[in-house]
Amino acid sequence: MPSHPAEGKAPGGTEALYRRFVGPLLSRDDGADAERLSRLTLSTLGQVALRRNWPLVRGTLEGLGAELQRRDPRLEQTLFGCRFANPVGLAAGFDKNGVAAAVWDRFGFGFAELGTVTWYRQGGNPRPRLFRLAAERAALNRMGFNNDGAEAMRRCLERQSLPPAGQRPAVLGINLGKSKLTPLERAPDDYASSLELLAPLADYAVVNVSSPNTPGLRDLQDETLLRRLVERLRRLPGCPPLLVKIAPDLEDDAIDAIARLAYEEGLAGVIAVNTSIDRLGLAERRLTQTGRALAEEAGGLSGRPLRRRALEVLRRLRATAGPALPLIGVGGIDSPETAWERIAAGASLVQLYTGWIYEGPDLVPAILEGLGRQLQFHGLASITDAVGTGLPWR
Ligand SMILES: Cc1cc2nc3c(=O)[nH]c(=O)nc-3n(C[C@H](O)[C@H](O)[C@H](O)COP(=O)(O)O)c2cc1C
């Protein structure tokens, strides 16, 4: 495992287990099938979420919380009507069906984005479809929105008896995608059906128009199509705060158009970015599992190589939209320093996926402690005061 500031501390139980058993599996591209490992983790967490009031399970979750949660009032914020206990969230795609919605706060997250969920249940692309690039701390995926569908997510969340939206220890966002079966021109109805069903359960919702693995989906980032889509969704009764998640591969003009549209349409925010179809300097890199170079493989890249582009897109959004539009920064964040950099560049919140897998659960408290130290160093009273300041990591 690489070092980060928590390294000086003796690792807690979870971190020690992660380093000993999971670390070695993740350190090689073919160490263990990446998708099976995620599925195993999620099905375990799903059982834990359903039985979280059983005494033994409750005790274990309390232990997990004691190890990974950090309460720091300076990191609290209220954005688009949601109160975030801290600015670090789980990015979309890990808990696609919301099975562990009730327990993400125990991992220290201030929020978790469930999904992407589509109206129709779908199996996704053929396997293998998730690949580790361990040396680069990156991943390539072409999952293709495998999920059980909006109705199954609703049942799954209801079974967990979550506190009502607005009263949860971690804010829950629901990320919506277009079903593969639905033609592009009917996309607004497809998204609207999912949102109508899930709105009462969501603190916020995300229109995902940026996954590279559903043919045509990214065309919905076009200004006219996106406006039509957003207007349709915002008319739904009980529509929660609505955000749009964009791709890192957009041209500057398209980023500017989305920033303006977000402002004009009263969107709650923009999430930047999804995985990239650019090979980010890794075109020649071969996948151990297929023997082919990344240039010849379909899918989106995530992790450390995405950091620089994700930061550029965020800066551009901030420059065009100004400070009033909340931005969520995601892509290549894998340390307290890279989280601070994104906040200083204009993100009010950040999300983790690939970095969290490689670094392990201790990354969340390490980031929260690191952010707290930066606030102190720069003489800032709260994380809100740090957003968009451009202040360097010290
Ligand atoms: C295996 C995998 C599945 C993903 N699935 C989704 C998804 O369903 N919806 C979505 O909006 N983003 C999805 N993403 C993108 C992440 O949410 C995130 O935007 C991207 O990975 C960049 O962050 P990272 O570098 O921290 O991983 C997925 C990423 C990975 C690695």
Q: How far is the CA of 366 from the centre of ligand 1 (A)?
A: 21
Q: Is 378 contained in some domain?
A: yes
Q: What are the two backbone dihedrals, phi and then psi, of residue 302, each rounded to the nearest 5 degrees?
A: -135, 175
> In CATH, what number is assigned to the domain containing residue 214?
3.20.20.70
Q: Give me 76's structure tokens.
A: 């609290």
pLDDT tens, residue by residue, 311-366: 999 999 999 999 999 999 999 999 999 999 999 999 999 999 999 999 999 999 99
Is 137 near ligand 1, meaning CB less than 6 Å away?
Answer: no
Is 144 near ligand 1, meaning CB less than 6 Å away?
Answer: no
Q: How far apart are alpha carbons 154 and 159 in whole angstroms?
A: 9
Is 333 near ligand 1, meaning CB less than 6 Å away?
Answer: yes
Q: Is 338 contained in some domain?
A: yes
Q: Is 5 contained in some domain?
A: no
Q: Is 1 contained in some domain?
A: no
Q: Is 2 contained in some domain?
A: no
- Domain hosting 136: range is 13-386
Q: Is 393 contained in some domain?
A: no
Whether the CB-CB separation of 151 and 197 falls below 8 Å is answered with: yes
Give 126-167 as a DSSP string.
PSP-EEEEGGGTEEEE-----B--HHHHHHHHHHTTPPPTTS
Tens-level pLDDT at each residue, the chain (394 residues): 334 444 444 556 788 778 777 877 787 888 778 899 999 999 999 999 999 999 999 999 999 999 999 999 999 999 999 999 999 999 999 999 999 999 999 999 999 999 999 999 999 999 999 999 999 999 999 999 999 999 999 999 999 999 998 899 999 999 999 999 999 999 999 999 999 999 999 999 999 999 999 989 998 989 999 999 999 999 999 999 999 999 999 999 999 999 999 999 999 999 999 999 999 999 999 999 999 999 999 999 999 999 999 999 999 999 999 999 999 999 999 999 999 999 999 999 999 999 999 999 999 999 999 999 999 999 999 999 999 999 999 9
Q: How far is the CA of 91 from the centre of ligand 1 (A)?
A: 6
SS3 of residue 252 by DSSP: helix
Q: Is 344 contained in some domain?
A: yes
Whole-prediction pTM value?
Answer: 0.96
Q: How far apart are alpha carbons 238 and 189 in whole angstroms?
A: 16
What's the domain count of the chain? 1
Distances (CA, A) of 12 to 101, 116, 233: 23, 32, 44
Q: How far is the CA of 39 from the centre of ligand 1 (A)?
A: 15
Strand order in the sheet with 300-303: 130-133, 138-141, 300-303
Q: How far apart are alpha carbons 372 and 383 in whole angstroms?
A: 8
Catalytic residue annotation:
211
Q: Give me 324's structure tokens.
A: 């009033």
Q: How far apart are alpha carbons 31 and 28 in whole angstroms?
A: 5
Q: State residue 1's pLDDT score.
A: 36
Q: Is 81 contained in some domain?
A: yes
pLDDT tens, residue by residue, 133-154: 999 999 999 999 999 999 999 9
pLDDT tens, residue by residue, 294-313: 999 999 999 999 999 999 99
Name the helix (H) or strand (E) containing 15: helix 13-17
Q: State residue 99's pLDDT score.
A: 97
Is 302 near ligand 1, meaning CB less than 6 Å away?
Answer: yes
Q: State residue 28's pLDDT score.
A: 83
356 Cα nearest atom in ligand 1 = 26
